Every structure is written in C-alpha cells, then in structure tokens.
Amino acid sequence: MSLLGAMSTAISGLNAQSAAFSNISDDVANSQTVGFRGVATNFIDYLTQSNAFENQSGNVATTPQYENELQGSVQQSSNPLALAIDGQGFFAVSQTTGTNSAGNPEFSPLTNYTRAGDFTLDAQGYLVNSAGGYLNGWAVDQATGSVNSGMLSPIQVSQTQFTPVPTSQVSLIANVPSTPSANSNLSSTVDIYDATGASHQLDMTWVQNATNDWTLNLSSPDNTGGASIGSVEMLFNANGTLASLENGTGSVAISGTGSTAAITLSPQFNGVTQNITMNLGTFGGTSGITQFAGTDYQLSSLTQNGAAPGSFTGISITSAGQVQANYNNGQNVTIAEVPVITFENSDALQRQDGQMFTATLNSGVPIAQNQNQNGAGSLVTGSVEQSNVDIATQLSNLIVAQQAYGANAKVITAANQLLQTTLQMIQG
C-alpha cells in the first residue's frame, strides 16, 4: 500500500504542478494586457493517515490565489481619454447584448468591473475599452449640475450644438480711486449675451460727484431706444468700503438685500427685455467695489455667466472623474462623473473575459464612491494601468514548478520500479 500510496501522491503532485504551470502560463501570456490581474497558486496538503506511529502519503491539491488588489504600474498614454486607478477600486462597465431597431446598443443588466481603462469614444458617443466594456458613471443634470449618484449607467456623450445661455449675472470687483487723476480712465466693458446667443457690449463709466460719492453709468450701443440703460449712485465709508447704493435711474434698480450690494439692469435687445443682476460685493466689505487711495481706476475682475452657441469639439475627463463635453465657444459641460467601485474583498471577485470581474457573495457588495474616499484609489487621467504580473517572479516560479514536476515524475518512475521488483520477486 505504501508504494501505491506514494505513486498516488506523486500523481497528485503532477496534477498540482500542472495547475501551477497553467496559472504561470496565464500570467506570462497576459503580462502586457492592460489592467490584467495575476493569479498565483496555493498548494494544499490532504492527509491519508498521520499519527505518532504511522504516516501514510496523502495528496496535494491547488487553489488559485487571485491578486486583484496588487497594484500594476501606471503608465502615461497618448490617449487623453485613458484612465487608471492608483490604489484600490475598479471601473464599472457594461457589455452589450445586441442592438435595438434604431441601431443603438442594448446592455446586459449585469455590471462588470475592470481595471482596464483604455477607453475611447465609439461611433455612438460611448466610452468603451479595448475589451468591449462600456464605462458606467453617474449622470449629471446639465441644468442644475446635480449628480445622480444613486444609479450607474453607460456614459454617452451627445455631440449636439451648445445651447446659448443668456447673461443673468455680472460680477464686478474694482477699486475707484479716492483722488482720480485728470486723465484716469474710469470705465470698463464686458460682452454679454441675449437669449439667441448674440453678443452685446455693456459699458460701465464712473463719475465722481464728491468725496466718497460716485455714480456708475451703464450703457450698451445695442440697447433698444438708446444707448443709456441707467445709473446708480454709490456712497463710500471713510475707510473706503461701500456704504450704500442710492438713486437708481432708468432701467437700473437696487436689488441687493441685507449686506449684499447688487443692482438689476434691464436692457432691451431687439425689443426683448433682459434682466441682469450685477453683483458689487458687500456693504462694509472689500470683496467687490471699494474706494481706496490712488489716482487710477483698478479693475480686478469682471465676469458674466452667459455664453454664445458653440459646436462640439470633443470630450475630456478631469482628474476628479468629470466627463466634459467641450465646445468651440470655450464652454465645457459636465455630463457625467466616473466613480471608483470598491469591495470588502476584491480578491474574491469572479473572473470574466476581457479583464473583467463580477461580484460574488465572498467579495461583498460593490460600493460606488468618489475617488480618494473611504479607501478608494485616485483617478489618473491620460494613463493606463499595466498588468500587475511581474515577469521575473513568474520565470522563477516556472523553474520551481518545472523542477517539482520532474521530481514527482521521478517518484512515479521509482515507485514503478519497486513494484516491478516486487512482482519479479513473487514470480521468482
């Protein structure tokens, strides 16, 4: 029985080393596969009988040791839409089950997870990696900017024209000089947009009435019925901060509440009234209009929130995971956010084709969260994560497995020779 047991043990050793060869072969073959996660081999001893008086040879078996949490090297890519995760986590991706009557892809309800972030834009505007995984994200409401973090879906970028945004807010940060020089230019100009996206020039001119007393005149050459829109008087404190707004004239009204200093101007463009709030800071504060010492007008910031129409030029992904549509008018619109998906035990994920995984009972439920939160890794844009397989380690493992396989084969050969000797002894 000992000879037969030894032979059985050696055969199990051959099978175990064959399994190790298989895992090594898989790792070596995928050493250049983007986002591939390596598989090592665990050897397990199964006893037949072992006590203080006798030990009979048992068997050896193997189980795969998944190395999903082991980081691969992050390398810069020429693809601007490529993404890598530095740290723990996965991308959520979907696979197609076919196309509908309109030619658009239909997706499987089963979500897959991957580290392969070599995404490109396909003909339908979806972000797809080289293995056919469609990147999932949180949709962003373009009107409000709110993120729907309760649902993941494939990200699709519409290439429609950018809808013009009429100007509704103008913010002015400037200092009018307490003692203006005779040749000081006390004016500013900003382009604003109407509902059609047409641009109109808004002119602001300052006139000093007396010490700490100024009038801001507002005008536009496109204003229906005349260039002048109206004016407002501004009184300043002795310390140079804004004290009050008074005497709004024409189509200019004082609209701020509490400590907020603001006016509303209502020009008409092509006969259509457009209400625009101009933010001037706070009363008694230094965040908007001030009157400090000096002889020249100093403009720090003059911004407005309108935009002209624009044509789609491409998409980009920020380091925060925001997928943005870009337009030739300089505007960027966030259409989705890419979360990082983490698991309690990512090594227990089930492997699928194309460097993808699915959740299991042992892996725990997927948790979608922003990068760098609660153990989630950070996103690296314009980069991909290479396979986490170390070739030097695999070659060393290959030598060990080859030697162990040969040794088990020699045990079988020796056991066979001993059995033959036993048979010859019986025959003799």
What is the structure's pLDDT at 1?
52
Contact at 8 Å (CB) between 179 and 212? no
Which residue in this structure is represented by tokens 């979608």? 368
189 and 231 within one domain: yes
181 and 261 within one domain: yes
79 and 66 within one domain: no
366 and 356 within one domain: yes
- The residue type found at 168 is S
204 and 135 within one domain: no
Residue 203 pLDDT greater than 80, yes or no? yes
Contact at 8 Å (CB) between 177 and 294? yes
* pLDDT tens sequence across 126-183: 999 999 999 999 999 987 889 999 999 999 998 888 889 999 999 999 999 999 998 8
267 and 186 within one domain: yes
What is the structure's pLDDT at 415?
76
Which residues have C-beta within 8 Å of that of residue 353, sequence separation ≥ 6?
Answer: 131
Average pLDDT of every residue of the chain: 92
232 and 279 within one domain: yes
Last residue of a domain, one of 304, 339, 364: 304
358 and 237 within one domain: no
| Beta-bridge partner residues of 260 | 282
| Beta-bridge partner residues of 302 | 172
366 and 327 within one domain: yes
225 and 188 within one domain: yes
Q: State mean pLDDT over 338-364.
A: 96
What is the structure's pLDDT at 334?
93
What is the structure's pLDDT at 307?
92
Last residue of a domain, one of 304, 339, 371: 304
242 and 288 within one domain: yes
What is the structure's pLDDT at 163?
86
**pLDDT band for position 427 (cuts 50, 70, 90):** low
What is the structure's pLDDT at 36?
95
Domains contained in the chain, number: 3
Last residue of a domain, one of 279, 304, 329: 304
Q: State mean pLDDT over 196-218.
A: 96
* pLDDT tens sequence across 84-138: 999 999 999 999 999 888 888 999 999 999 999 999 999 899 999 999 999 999 9
Gap between the Cα atoms of 212 and 235, Å rounded: 6
293 and 174 within one domain: yes
Instruction: Give the chain's length.
Output: 428
Domain span at residue 406? Answer: 2-70+387-427
What is the structure's pLDDT at 308?
92
What is the structure's pLDDT at 101?
83
What pTM, to 2 d.p., does this model score? 0.77
Which residues have C-beta within 8 Å of that of residue 37, sequence separation ≥ 6?
Answer: 66, 67, 68, 70, 115, 351, 355, 387, 388
What is the CATH number for 233? 2.60.98.20
